[in-house]
Structure formats: structure tokens, C-alpha cells
Amino acid sequence: MSFTFALEATAGAARAGTLTLPHGTVPTPAFMPVGTHGVVRGLSAGDVRGTGARIILGNTYHLHLRPGESIVGDMGGLHRFTGWDRPMLTDSGGFQVFSLEQLRTISESGVEFRSHVDGTWRRLTPERATEIQWDLGADIAMAFDHVVPGGAPRELAEEGMERTLRWLGRCREEHERLAEGRGGAPASQTLWPIIQGGTYDDLRLRSLEGVLARGPWTGIAIGGLSVGEPKPVMHRLLELLEPELPREVPRYLMGVGFPADLLEGIARGVDLFDCVAATRNGRHGTAWLPTGRINVRGAALKGSTEPLDPECDCEACTTVSRGYLRHLFVVEDMLGLRLVSIHNVRFLVRLGEQARARILDGTFDHWRREWLERHRSRAVPAEP
Amino acid sequence: MSFTFALEATAGAARAGTLTLPHGTVPTPAFMPVGTHGVVRGLSAGDVRGTGARIILGNTYHLHLRPGESIVGDMGGLHRFTGWDRPMLTDSGGFQVFSLEQLRTISESGVEFRSHVDGTWRRLTPERATEIQWDLGADIAMAFDHVVPGGAPRELAEEGMERTLRWLGRCREEHERLAEGRGGAPASQTLWPIIQGGTYDDLRLRSLEGVLARGPWTGIAIGGLSVGEPKPVMHRLLELLEPELPREVPRYLMGVGFPADLLEGIARGVDLFDCVAATRNGRHGTAWLPTGRINVRGAALKGSTEPLDPECDCEACTTVSRGYLRHLFVVEDMLGLRLVSIHNVRFLVRLGEQARARILDGTFDHWRREWLERHRSRAVPAEP
């Protein structure tokens, strides 16, 4: 009973629920900050707890290279290693190794790739990705998928989708083998499948069908979106999949997490999101606001005693001024990067909290429209 | 009555006291972290409060250049600007402008120097340094001194010392003029003089005599030490000055703050210290330990689940392992720099707290000897 999902309310396709995992509960919809190397860039576990995040993500590819899953395993797993005691999810490494375009070869058995750190050749297969994630010990492991580039032609998208289904079977077998090794002890990790199929409706539906045929699952992810396709295409595919997805498990839209994308995804039935944009933008001095976004380096902030976002309750907005934040970027002090990262993560976590409250009280649709209108109203667009 | 010092106990020359300032009290002996640009490098005001620091230092030279004292003043002063609500001290900029060897010309009226930020020529005089510090609004302002290089020949040391005395008179006049502008409101800032004179005993004594002749003062600083002279020379000069210094005001040894230097200074009657070594070493991955120091990047820490310093109560030592800290440095995440900086600052703050407790309970001298012996016992020396 460690992996349950209780659906509490809906508003159209939007859902409010509670995901229960070995390390705690996650009220949904929810944004998951990305802890690439076992750390949400620049933030301590306490900083991330302070943003209200209930679950974070770790990258299997990066953790495999440094410090290596055996080190993490020997140190007691990713939770003990990082000091993060709430739920955690690891991706499978698929997205990263398929991004190493010049540095990898793909076959049915898996992917050979060169480490971007030391140039050594390594190998990731469905079985290895599953074993590595088992050693890392997150609450949720992801199946190893064949990721194709955004805008991939139909044949390539189909090949990746079909291979992802075959690999899903191998991941599942390996995961069951590892779980049996616990000798009847309760499972500490669950495995989630990933729907692929590029921008092709029929491939997406076949992918979902294939995933369900290999189930049951405690959660289902949608991969290969937000990789350059127009927003309306992503929205169409989410709307296509939504009625076919089982209601009783959470849906995770991978790699999506600009503020407006979060709300649009929630409106289309998505429960979980992750994205590095919050911390990446934070390090570059771009802060999200209810009214769009702001460049913290901008001369307009010089001398301002106003908070970054008067509606926000994060550490940056409650302890320092816009003028001080700008000063930190001007003198290149890393505290500025940290504070704006904290703000952006809190901004997305709070957006999930707000959406959940609005779904529960029946005002979601109206609120979402007004929120998006305000967020997109400024001359400076809210998204790149 | 805003600037008082109560001497509570002594142990030989060592002193335990309490300094009362407009923004709070400072139990002494105490280490003051350096907030170069209005920020202790990489740390939030909350981080610094978490180290137990009761007073921090700001650099007038850096704050004059960025963001400029008028911006800080308009934003309500350095306390409101930075969010640090405890006592603060600003240096006069003398140390920085005299360090710009190729970029400054000295005359009796003051120093012309080129900004290291934008190359513009600027001018710092005793009056300007005093005005800038008044605008910054720290509890304690320092007199503008003529700083000579470490190892300066006698004539240069004498010239700098004599000029520092003449400038002290001008700083005092300017400070009184500014204070009178408050129209009888209680003073919010006090001015402290600086003893110079290089490594020459007679010059140091003449400097002190000149300082006292221009008094009274609420505190007295000793400058121009820890600039390359052998440790025994610094110790000899401190021992020379100690009996001549007034007992009733705190003594501040400028720029000194490696752990052993702190204890040696305390034993010779010093009450206050500042140094960037804690945060600079922290950013470079060198952590101070009771047994010496350690390179956090070192392979020996790989996989270690031990705390950095099991005797320490700082955020780094109580929340993460040596293995995780090493990993943060390997993947170049700024959280590592922050955590080791916090540890080193806490290490010095705690050393002040420990020394104070030992002076109060009469065990200081024995404890200090044992502490230094243990700190210096390792093959890796504790200091560069």
C-alpha cells in the first residue's frame, strides 16, 4: 500500500489528488524541482523544503557518472546522500543519453555512450537503467525509453515508440527481479512507464495502449513533449490522451514547467511536472512574476526597496528587496542566484498549490483564465 | 549610552566583555565575518545569523563603487539594504585604496584612485571616507588611515603612521560635524581610530600615544598587521601595546582571523577580529577542523557518511556528510561553497564563544594551549 493515489476532486479534466509514497505524501497537482546531481542546483535540502516542494527528481545519467550509484547505494541511497527526506523520483537517463548525439550508438539491446565528464564509453540498457535506479533508491523509478528529437519524422517516432514499449517489458522484468530480492519485505520503489510517439496522434494512442497492456502501473508519464513543438500541438496531444488515461493513477508530464505550461497541463489532466527552467532562469537572473517575468539585473530595479514579488512568501521575497537582489547580480555574488532560484521554485510549487485549492473549491477554470491573462499581459512575454 | 563596553573577566591579558551598540550587543572576544559588498560572500543574512555572528563588517571601498553610498543611504542604510539587523562595522576604504598600487596617488589631502570596476578616477579623503560611512550607517565607522605595505621601511612606516594621526583629527572633526546635524538625537554611529607604525615598536607606541591624545574613543583598532610579517613579530607588537591600551574600550585587530591567530590574539588582549579567510577558504574547499584543516575535494572523503566536523553544530556539519560535500565540489555546485563557508565562519564564531566561556570560568590558558597543540598536530598544517 506504499504507492497509492487518491483522486479527491476534478474540474473538467483538471484533478486534485494525493499521491502516497514510501517517503511521504504529495498533494497534486505538483511541480517537482530537478535535483540534477543529487542537488537542486545551488539549493540545500532545507532550501527546497522551504519552497514547499513535496517531491524532487534526480537524474540517473548524472548520478551514474558522479558519484556513481554504488557510492550512493553504499551511503544509504539518494535520500540519505542528499539529506532530502521527502519523496523522490529518478528519471531513467534515456533523455540525457539520447541527447548526446555525436557520442552514442543505439541498438535494440541499449545505448553505448561517451561520458561527457571523462570521455569513457559506457552502456545503458533497460536492465542497467533499472538496476542503477534501484541502487539510487528513489520512491519512483522511470522506465528506460528511446527518446527521439523534437520534430522527428514519423518513422523515427514510431521506431522510438515501439522500442520504448519493448524496453518497458525488460524494465518491468528487471524491476520485479530486484523487488523479489527483498524476500517479501514491502516494496520501496515503483516503476512508471513513459508514453512516446512524437507529435503523431495515432502513435501516441498506440503507445498508451501498449503501456496499459503491460500494466498495471502506479503512475504513467508522458515523455517527448516540450521539445520544440508548438504549444497547440502539446495541448492537442494532452487532450487526445486524457480520456484514455486511467483515472486512478497520477499522470506525469516530463520536462514541462514554465508557469503557463503548468496551468495548461493541469487543465488537461496532468498531475505532476518537472523542469529545470525554474533554477536555470534563476541563475540567469530571470524571475517569474504573476505579471510575467523580470530581469533581476535590470537598471529599473536599482535602489528599489520593493520585494521581488509582493504576492510571494518565499525567502527572497520576504527577506530582501529588488534593489539588493540586483546588487547581488551586479557584484556576482552567488546568493543572488540562490535567492532567485528559490523564488522561481516556490513560484511553481505555489502555482500547484493554488491550482489544487481552486480545483477543490470549484473555481479552477475561471481562476486559470484570469491567471493566464494577467501573466501574459505584459510587454515582456512570460516565456521564451 | 549607545556605545559601551563592559569588561567582565580577564585571564592574563585575555578579556571577556560585552560591547553594546545601537543594533545590539556583542559578547567578546568575537570574530566579525566580512561582508565585502554588503553580503558575506555567498551567504544570506539568515545564514550569517545562523553561524551565531553578532556583528559583521562592510567594505566602504566596495560599497562606494557598487551600489554607491547614496543608493544604500536612500534605501535606509546598510542594515535595511542587507537585511542584517545586528551590529555592523564599516572599514574606511584605506586598506583597499592603498592596495591599488599602480592605480592611486597619495597626497596629504587624500588618495586619488582608479575604480577597479570601471576605471574611473575617484578621490577618498578623511572627510569623504567619513561621509560615505555616515551614509552607509553602520554602528561603527573606522578612521581613514594611510596603510603601508607589509615589510615597509622605517621612513615609510613613520610617514604613514604620522599621516594616519593627522587624518584621524580630520575624520573626528567630520564625524562630529555629521553627528551635530542630527540636532541632539542620540548618536547612531561611533568612530574608531587605527594604530599604525609597521613593525617598529617605537612607532607603534607613538601611534597609540597620538591616538589617545585625540580621544576619548569607544574602541581602538590595530591595523597593518597580518600583512606578511612573521607571527612572532605580530605577537611581540600585541604584547607591546596591550598594557598601554585603555582597559575600558574594546581592541580590534584588523584583518586577522585564521583560527590559531584568533586564539593568539585573544591571549594578548584582543577583543574583535575580522578576516576574509573563512569564506575565501570555504569557496576553495578548505574547511577548518579542531585537528587542523581538510581539503573537501580530497578523494579520502569520497563515500564518507561522517560529518565534516563531528564537534561542530553548523548547518554543513549537522545536515550533510563529507561524501556529499565532496560530491558538491566535484560537480561544481555552489551549495558546496556555501556550506563550507558557513562551517568556517561558524568555526571562528564558536572559537570566540569558547574562548569567552574559558576566560569567564578561569580555564582559558590551559584550554588555549591544548586547543593550539591539537590544531597544529596534524601533518597538514592548519595555516598557509
Residues of B in contact with A33 (CB under 8 A): none
Interface test with B, best of A36, A75, A118, A305 (most B CBs within 10 A): A75
Instruction: Output DSSP code: residue A105.
Output: E
pLDDT category of residue B381 using cuts at 50, 70 and 90 = very low
Instruction: Quote the minimal CA–CA distance from B240 to chain A in Å.
Output: 40
b/e A209-222 (16+ beta carbons within 10 angstroms → b): ebbbeeeebbbbbb
Find, in chain B, the residue whose alpha carbon is nearest to that of A65: B331
Strand partners, B106: B111
CA-nearest residue of chain B to A37? B331
Q: Is the ipTM of this complex over 0.85?
A: yes
pLDDT of residue A1: 54
CB contact (8 A) between residue B335 and residue A71: no
On chain B, the residues whose CB falls within 8 A of the CB of A73 are none
Closest CA to A345 of A259, A254, A269: A259
Nearest to B143 by CA among B128, B122, B157: B128
Q: With beta carbons under 8 A apart, name residues in chain A contacting B62.
A: 331
**Partners of A293 in beta bridges:** A288
Answer yes or no: do B320 and A38 touch at CB < 8 A: no
Residue B384 confidence class, pLDDT cut points 50, 70, 90: very low
Q: Are strands A14-21 and A4-11 parallel, antiparallel or unpaired?
A: antiparallel
Q: Please tell me the predicted confidence (pLDDT) of residue A382.
A: 44
Taking chain B, what is the end-to-end CA distance rounded to the nearest angstrom? Answer: 42
Nearest to B320 among A67, A83, A335 (CB): A83
Cβ neighbours of residue B246 closer than 8 Å, sequence gap 6 or more: B212, B220
Residue of chain A nearest B76, judged by CA positions: A305
- The amino acid sitting at B372 is L
Please give the pLDDT value at position B382. Answer: 44
Please tell me the predicted confidence (pLDDT) of residue B50.
98
For residue B44, the chain A residues in CB contact (below 8 A) are 315, 319-320, 335, 338-339
CB atoms < 10 A from the CB of A107, how many? Answer: 9
Cβ contact B71–A44 (<8 Å): no
**Contacts with A83 from chain B: Cβ below 8 Å:** 319-320, 324
In this structure, of A11-15, A248-252, B114-118, B130-134, the range with the lowest mean pLDDT score is B114-118
Considering chain B, what is the average pLDDT of its residues? 95
Is there a contact between A334 and B37 (Cβ–Cβ < 8 Å)? no
Residues in chain A whose Cβ is within 8 Å of chain B: 37-39, 41-46, 62, 66-67, 71, 74-76, 80-83, 302-303, 305, 315, 319-321, 323-324, 327-328, 330-331, 333-335, 337-339
C-alpha cell, B328: 558538491
Residue B14, pLDDT > 80, answer yes
Q: Reply yes or no on whether the pLDDT at A383 is more than 50.
A: no
In whole angstroms, what is the distance from residue A220 CA to residue A208 CA? 9
Chain B neighbors of A321, CB-CB under 8 A: 75, 81
- Check pLDDT > 50 for residue A353: yes
Q: Show which residues on chain B lie within 8 Å of chain A, measured between beta carbons.
A: 37-39, 41-46, 62, 66-67, 71, 74-76, 80-83, 302-303, 305, 315, 319-321, 323-324, 327-328, 330-331, 333-335, 337-339
CA distance A320 to chain B (A): 6
Instruction: Return the closest-CA partner of residue A26 out of A190, A224, A238, A180.
Output: A190
For chain A, count helices (H), then strands (E): 15, 18
Q: How far A329 CA lies from chain B's nearest CA (Å)?
A: 11
What was the pLDDT predicted at A127?
98
Q: What is the distance, to the nearest Å, from the Cα of residue B15 to the centroid of all Cα atoms in its chain?
A: 18
* Per-residue confidence (pLDDT) for residue A7, from 0 to 100: 98
A160-178 average pLDDT score: 98
Q: Which of A90-99, A250-259, A286-295, B214-223 has the lowest mean pLDDT?
A: A90-99
C-alpha cell at A275: 523542469
Nearest by CB to residue B334, choosing from A83, A315, A337, is A337
pLDDT at A187: 84
DSSP letter at A50 equals H
Q: What is the pLDDT of residues A280-322, one digit of tens each?
A: 999 999 999 999 999 999 999 999 999 999 999 999 999 999 9
pLDDT of B187: 84
Q: How many CA atoms lie within 13 A of A52 on its CB side?
A: 20
Residues β-bridged to residue B145: none
Chain A neighbors of B61, CB-CB under 8 A: none
User: Mean pLDDT throughout B281-299?
Assistant: 97
How far does Cα A75 stand from its chain's mean position? 25
Joined grid coordinates for residue A159:
521506431
pLDDT, position B183: 81
pLDDT per residue as tens digits for the range B139-184: 999 999 999 998 999 999 999 999 999 999 999 999 999 999 888 8
Using DSSP, how many helices (H) and how many strands (E) does chain B show? 15, 18
Which string of DSSP letters, residue by residue, matches B253-296? ETT--SHHHHHHHHHTT--EEE-SHHHHHHHTTEEEETTEEEET
Asked if A76's CB is within 8 angstroms of B44's CB, the reply is no
Q: At B221, is the secondary structure helix, strand, or coil?
A: strand
- Put simply, the answer to whether B330 touches A66 (Cβ < 8 Å) is yes
Of A44, A75, A338, the CB nearest to B323: A75
Tell me which of B374 and A383 has the higher pLDDT: B374
Q: What is the CA radius of gyration of chain B?
A: 20
Distance from CA of A212 to the nearest CA of B (A): 38
- Closest-CA distance, A348 to chain B, in angstroms, reads 21
Split at pLDDT 50, 70, 90, the class of A381 is very low
Residue A66 C-alpha, separation from nearest chain B C-alpha, in angstroms: 7
Question: By percentage, how much of chain A surpasses pLDDT 70?
Answer: 98
What's the rounded mean pLDDT across residues A48-56? Answer: 98
For A21, A22, A53, A78, the CA distances from A85, given in Å and listed in that order, are: 12, 10, 11, 9
The rounded distance, in Å, linking the Cα atoms of B2 and A248 is 66
Which letter, b or e, does each residue of B91-111 get, where b requires 16 or more Cβ atoms within 10 Å of its Cβ?
Answer: bbbbbbbbeeeeebeeeeebb
Which one-letter amino acid corresponds to residue B325?
L
Distance CA A282, CA A285 (A): 5
Between the alpha carbon of residue B96 and those of residues B144, B147, B196, B261, the distances in Å are: 11, 9, 16, 22
Peptide bond into A29 cis (omega under 30): yes
**Set of chain A residues whose Cβ sits within 8 Å of the Cβ of B83:** 319-320, 324
Residues of A with active-site annotation:
91, 274
Mean pLDDT score, B254-267: 97
Nearest to A38 among B39, B83, B327 (CB): B327
